[in-house]
Structure 1
């Protein structure tokens, strides 16, 4: 059964352009990973500094490999300088 991840992210107001660019690079690289079923990026319509990433992976091993990927580690390394608050990340299990 697949595993999903939901990340709610709030970047600093003056970092929107840089953060947006880095997020799009992360999504593009992640979609090419083996085991990635979906990797979707959303931005709040009325709050452009707030984003949601919705991911779906084939299994926990695929998610673990993603978290070891160079592009993911790079994003985790640079994102604290761009974030207003730490990301709120939840691992989800589909019920139906």
Structure 2
């Protein structure tokens, strides 16, 4: 079964444009990775500083490789400056 990840993020009000740009670069690069089944970015309709990333990977190894990819490490490195609070990340296993 595949493995999924949900990341809930709340960026600083004055960092919205920069955060949006960096998120889109992350998504674009991640979609090109081997083992990536889906990498979708959402923004709360009524709270534009809040985002959700929904990822799906063929297996845990693919997710682990993603977390070692340069574009992912770069995003993790710069995101604390842009985020209001640390990202809330949940890793999920598909049941059916």
If the length of structure 1 is used for normalisation, what is the TM-score?
A: 0.99
Distance 1:91 1:84 in 2: 22
Q: CA RMSD in A?
A: 0.4
Q: Which residue of 1 aligns with 2:57?
A: 57
Structure with a larger share of its residues in strand: 1
**Mapping of 1:12-91 within 5 angstroms?**
12-91=12-91
Offset from partner CA, 1:26-65 (integer Å, 9 cap, x none): 0000000000000000000000000000000000000000
Equivalences, count: 96
Deviation at 1:6, TM superposition (A): 0.3
- Which 5+ residue runs of structure 1 have no aligned equivalent? none
If the length of structure 2 is used for normalisation, what is the TM-score?
A: 0.99
Distance 1:30 1:57 in 2: 11
- Which 5+ residue runs of structure 2 have no aligned equivalent? none
